[in-house]
Amino acid sequence: MTSCPPGAWRRNVSVLVWTPVLLLGPVLDVRGSTGSIVLQVAIIVVIAASAVTAALAGGPPWHDARAPLALSTLIAATVAGSTLESAQWLPTWVLLANALPSAIRGRWLLLAIPATTAGSMGAAWMVAPHDGTRVLTQGFVVVLAGLANAAFTALIDTVSELRRTRQELARVAVAEERDRFSRDLHDLLGHTLSVMVVKAQAVRRLVAADPAAAVAHAVDIEQIGRRALVDVRQAVDAMRSPTLAEEVAGACHALDAAGIATRVDGSPVVASGTADELLAWVVREGATNVLRHSGASTCRISLSDVDGRVALTIADDGMGAPPTSAPRVGGLAGLRERLAAVGGDLVVEPGDDGFRLVATVPGGRA
């Protein structure tokens, strides 16, 4: 058995409420109308059952075949009731107009309401004595019932769609925030662990030849580890964003410890807010790549103004373009997405004489 579509009863609640009210006339008129009592009772039962079925089955996503079938049965039963030529049966046309939006929508509904109105006016004219006022009143009530319930169900559909859209937007926002946090944590730990590995290698090399230097590197490893713990804790709490100045200083320290001579070229350019944070992430990822994959002996970090945009360049004299499978450029995809989100760009230029990374973001002059 097919279940009721979610929210169908709420969407078509007016049909459920008005069905017993509008059938009160035919029920009271069972003995007063011409025709068999059994036939009248049967018509009343069919009208009630088909109206309730149309209300409970009709609703988005509009794939339940019971709704149009119930509406067709309701139409037939309403027409059958009109053959009794009693004014007490005219409210069944109001019920039919009220039930139309349960199973029909769009242009078909715009055609069904006038057709139902015309049928109800014909049924009103069949009632003796013929009364033009009754016919006009019946037409007005039926078209009003159809249009009012159509507007009500359209409003319910719109609210339901907005609710689904809000839920989807919330889901997408959570997914995007999860991806952002994953990238931040990857960049944070990737850089820090790379520096600790380099310094651990230095300790291993120097422990016999220069114990004092080895101890100094070991102290640095401890300090870097402690700072990493703080950074991770703050990142989890969303309390801290990296700054460009801190990352440049940290990159110089790490590269120098690895034996890579690093030069920073200053410029009267100011990167603030989001631009400063994004460029800080670029420095962190770029320095990590130089440490891990370049085999370089020198590295240059420069900041400049290019047509009103801040350009950060990280260039080294390492092995240049890595093999396709090498991981050197793998972590840059997330940076490229971040920069693109604010109108920035990331260009990677591997060559025979080294590796060059250029990140640009909207910025200003000092």
217-240: pLDDT as tens digits: 888 888 888 777 777 766 665 555
Summarised one tens digit per residue, pLDDT across range 170-194 is 888 878 877 777 777 777 777 778 8
Distance (Å, whole) CA 167 – CA 95: 35
Contact 90, 138 (CB under 8 A): yes
Q: What is the pTM of this model?
A: 0.50
Res 268 pLDDT > 70: no
The packing angle between helices 274-289 and 244-257, to 10°, is: 10
Which residue is listed with tokens 């925030």?
A: 177
Q: What's the mean pLDDT when you consider all of the chain?
A: 81
Residue 55 has pLDDT above 50, yes or no: yes
Q: In 3-state terms, what secondary structure has residue 226?
A: helix
Nearest-angstrom CA–CA distance, 128 and 336: 81
Integer-rounded Cα Rg, in Å, for the chain is 38
